Amino acid sequence: MAYHEFLQGYHEYQPRRVFSTTATDWQARVDFARMRRERLARAREQMDKHDLGALVLFVGENIRYVTGVWQGNWKNNIFIRYCVLPRNGKPVLFETVGSDMICAQIDAPWLEGEIRPAITWKWAEGAEPEMAQRMAQSVYDVLRENGVHKERIGIDIMDMMAYQALTGLGLNIVNAWPAMSAARVIKTPDELECLKIAAAHGDAAMWMAMHEWAKPGVRESEVCAKVNEYLYRSGFDFVYDIIVASGGNTSPYRRWHTDKIIRQGDLMIVDINAVGPGGYFIDFVRCWKVAAKPTPKEKDLFKRCYDSLYAGIEALRPGATTADVAAKFPEYDDDTYGSVSLQQFAHSIGLSLYEGMWISRAYSFKYPAEIKPNMYFAIETFSGFPGLEQTVRLEENVCVTDQGPVRFTLCEHPEYWFSEP
């Protein structure tokens, strides 16, 4: 990351200075080879800090982080493929055989000689114990080849069958999530550029939803379809979920679209969750009034939501803690139940919608974690109270920098929210 005198800052931190994921000879854009190297280096750094001889990864985003291989969402997290990263060895990808394995060999020459057939044990009916043992043996062979089979082995997730098979071989298994989380929550410059690109497309889709697509007489499902079409035409890897809630579907907040007809005067909440062209998420929310001006009560709800959201954003600074951010959220169900409502909170995003660091009143006061430069958060708030006919929700995507928080989602809120009565 280089400081530019003319820009008086870093390109990566400036959301209006956005490159493209397409390549060209005249501009230094996203360097995916560099990104793969730097992600791998971060994973190795955390392996050393957590005293791990190897990582064994089954979660799709962790596999992509370490190997740079992705083959669609359908098999991303059904645990039919895996990879092993030995401390001083190359990552070894176990890919499903047939066309999938051939595609990986073609698409990822940086893994030449390190792609092996995955042994699939899930849903193998009565053969599960045998297939799980074969899978465990394939992992053990890599560990032994690299001389780390007697060390601590970090694993991100597994079922009971896999656990029994791996421990049956005498492996010392520990939780890999602390290491992988610590690696992934700090973004490299190329990752930040991918996040900016996703945010730029997300902003455009939200603007179109606000000004063109969400009209009286249109169904929520039609708005959802338009956003999906736009993002896929923009080269997105995958549209994870588009939440479209209008009128009564905002209170209580229905976090999925329906075939409800949008009416004049409805409050409209749209939440875009999608994986951009470089593999990184956009996740943000806007709320507006359909073909009408908000009432004083609705403007008050918006102000409550907006003020707490931007107070939380202002607290996202290096050296602060997650407790400092959580203190800006109003009391909500997180306090009542000691759980996370997913409505008054913040979460790290990147290759995953929900990465390692979450911020909530449910636990961040008791277990504060340090906010560091190059962390990237989706931060969201909600004005939810019993008896409301409809209500407001907002969310932004924010990069933590040495100069303070920088918002990457730039789609403007309608001016009527801020005007005097």
Percentage of residues in the chain having pLDDT higher than 70: 100
Model confidence at 365: pLDDT above 70: yes
pLDDT at 25: 85
Q: Is residue 143 located within the same domain as residue 243?
A: no
- Within this chain, do residues 268 and 412 fall inside the same structural domain, yes or no? yes
Examine the domain organization and report whether 219 and 251 are in the same domain.
yes
Q: Are residues 279 and 401 in the same domain?
A: yes
The residues with which 173 forms a beta bridge, in sequence order, are 153
Q: Is the domain of 289 the same as that of 413?
A: yes
What pLDDT score was predicted for residue 184? 97
pLDDT at 220: 98
The token duo for 174 is 């520990």
User: What are the E-state strand segments in 5-44?
Assistant: 9-10
Question: CB-based burial of residue 259 (10 Å sphere; 0-12 exposed, 13-18 middle, 19+ buried)?
Answer: exposed
Establish if 140 belongs to a structural domain. Answer: yes
Q: Containing H/E element for 159?
A: none
| Local structure of 99: helix, strand or coil | helix
H or E segment at 48? helix 32-49
In a domain, 346, yes or no: yes
In this prediction, residue 341 has a pLDDT band, given cuts at 50, 70 and 90, of confident
Q: Using CA atoms, how far apart are residues 370 and 354, in angstroms rounded to an integer?
A: 18
Domain that residue 363 falls in: 189-417
The DSSP-derived string for 249-315 is GBTTB--S--SPBP-TT-EEEEEEEEE-TTS-EEEEEEEEESSSPPPHHHHHHHHHHHHHHHHHHHT
Note whether 366 and 282 are same-domain residues. Answer: yes
To the nearest whole number, what is the mean pLDDT of the chain? 94
Kindly state whether residue 271 falls inside one of the protein's structural domains: yes
> Which residue's structure tokens are 């996202």?
316
Residue finishing a domain among 158, 184, 210: 184
Containing H/E element for 319?
Answer: none
Domain's final residue, options 129, 151, 184: 184
Which pLDDT score is estimated for 421? Answer: 65
SS3 labels along 323-341: HHHHCCCCCCHHHHHCCCC
Separation of alpha carbons 21 and 32, rounded Å: 9
CB 390 within 8 A of CB 250: yes
Q: Kindly state whether residue 27 falls inside one of the protein's structural domains.
A: no
CATH number of the domain within which 235 lies: 3.90.230.10
In the listed set 157, 184, 211, which residue is the last one of a domain according to the structure?
A: 184
Is residue 325 domain-resident? yes
113-128 pLDDT, tens digit each? 999 999 999 888 889 9
What is the domain count for the chain? 2
The predicted structure's pLDDT at residue 58: 97
**What confidence score (pLDDT) does residue 120 get?**
92
- Given a cut of 90, is residue 385 above it in pLDDT? no
Q: Please report which confidence band the pLDDT of residue 1 belongs to, taking 50, 70 and 90 as the band edges.
A: low
> Which burial class, exposed, middle or buried, applies to 363 when counting CB atoms under 10 A from its CB (0-12, 13-18, 19+)?
middle
Q: Residue 306 has which token pair?
A: 């907006």
Indicate whether 11 belongs to any domain. Answer: no
| Residue 263 vs residues 17, 229, 247, 388, 415: alpha-carbon distances, Å | 38, 23, 8, 17, 21
What are the distances in angstroms from CA 171 to CA 70, 163, 319, 420?
28, 10, 38, 66
Same domain, 109 and 206: no
- Whether 179 and 193 map to the same domain: the answer is no
Domain match, 256 and 142 both: no
Backbone angles phi, psi at 330, to 5 degrees: -70, 155
| Same domain? 301 vs 376 | yes
Is 26 contained in some domain?
no
In 115-242, which residue ranges form alpha helices assigned H by DSSP?
128-145, 160-168, 177-184, 189-208, 220-233
Burial zone of 297 (CB within 10 Å; 0-12 exposed, 13-18 middle, 19+ buried): exposed
In sequence order, the 6+-apart residues with CB closer than 8 A to the CB of 267 are: 246, 247, 250, 287, 288, 289, 290, 294, 298, 390, 391, 392
81 in the same domain as 163: yes
What CATH number should be reported for the domain holding residue 171?
Answer: 3.40.350.10
Q: At 375, give phi and psi (nearest 5°).
A: -75, 155
- Greater model confidence, 30 or 6: 30
What's the pLDDT tens digit per position in 162-184? Answer: 999 999 999 999 999 999 999 99
172, 234: one domain: no
pLDDT at 47 (0 to 100): 98
Residue pair 246/262 in contact (Cβ under 8 Å)? The answer is yes
With respect to residue 205, please indicate whether it lies within any of the assigned structural domains: yes
Q: What is the pLDDT of residues 194-207, one digit of tens each?
A: 999 999 999 999 99
